[in-house]
């Protein structure tokens, strides 16, 4: 993002972005080095000074790539299964089901069984847009196609919403759709 924009300053735009999407990497492009200190107020990831050179730009891109790689690694869980350990990308999980002491991680057309409790799973997936539709199912809100008395997932599966969880589930779904969580 450039520091000097027509409608508002790049710093003002970055502050608006931060309010809506705190995880976004913001890199300022400017010929005014004095703005670097101000950039810390909006958690700028880096600065590129104009005119840039290829080597400096390539170095910044490598740093950005490394940061994105590091962040995506946080988007996975390691599960203890009967056959050992499995690393699973959180974004692939459509929902998690508990049956007795088995935790079943459902992905499109596939599932992985691990041991544990729904409480531990919910804690582990906190901050990744999952919500309990009843005590047996923890749903990835990104997979919800429609919801009323049941939740229809984009994978074609339909899960019941319990009376006790309906209000909280629907509120979290509304906030997810509205982009406020």
Q: Region 150-163: what's the mean pLDDT? A: 94
Q: Which domains does the chain have, with CATH numbers?
A: 10-73 (3.40.50.2300), 76-178 (2.40.50.1020)
Rounded Cα gap, residues 161 and 166, in angstroms: 6
Q: Exposed, middle or buried by CB within 10 Å (0-12, 13-18, 19+), for 71?
A: exposed
Residue 22 has pLDDT above 80, yes or no: no
Q: What pairs with residue 106 in β-bridges?
A: 95, 111
Other beta carbons within 10 Å of 130? 23
Band (pLDDT 50/70/90 cuts) for residue 133 is very high
Average pLDDT over residues 72-78: 73
Q: Please give the residue that has the higher pLDDT: either 164 or 36.
A: 164
Q: Which two tokens stand for residue 31?
A: 């010929």
Q: Please spell the DSSP secondary structure of 55-124, one letter per residue.
A: HHHHHHHHHHHHHHHHHHHTTEEEEEETTEEEEEEGGG--EEEEETTEEEEEETTEEEEEE--HHHHHHH
């Amino acid at each position: 993002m450039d520091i000097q924009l027509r409608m508002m300053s790049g710093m003002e735009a970055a502050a608006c972005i931060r309010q809506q999407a705190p995880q976004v990497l913001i890199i300022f492009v400017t010929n005014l080095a004095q703005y670097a200190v101000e950039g810390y107020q909006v958690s700028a990831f880096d600065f590129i000074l104009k005119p840039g050179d290829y080597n400096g730009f390539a170095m910044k891109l490598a740093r950005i790539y490394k940061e994105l790689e590091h962040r995506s690694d946080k988007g996975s869980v390691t599960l203890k299964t009967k056959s050992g350990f499995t690393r699973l990308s959180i974004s692939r999980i459509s929902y998690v089901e508990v049956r007795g002491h088995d935790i079943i991680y459902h992905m499109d057309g596939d599932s992985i069984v691990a041991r544990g409790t729904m409480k531990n799973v919910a804690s582990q997936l906190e901050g990744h847009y999952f919500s309990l539709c009843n005590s047996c199912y923890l749903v990835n809100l990104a997979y919800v196609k429609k919801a009323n008395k049941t939740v229809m997932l984009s994978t074609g599966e339909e899960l019941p919403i319990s009376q006790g969880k309906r209000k909280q589930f629907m509120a979290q779904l509304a906030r997810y759709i509205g982009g406020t969580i």
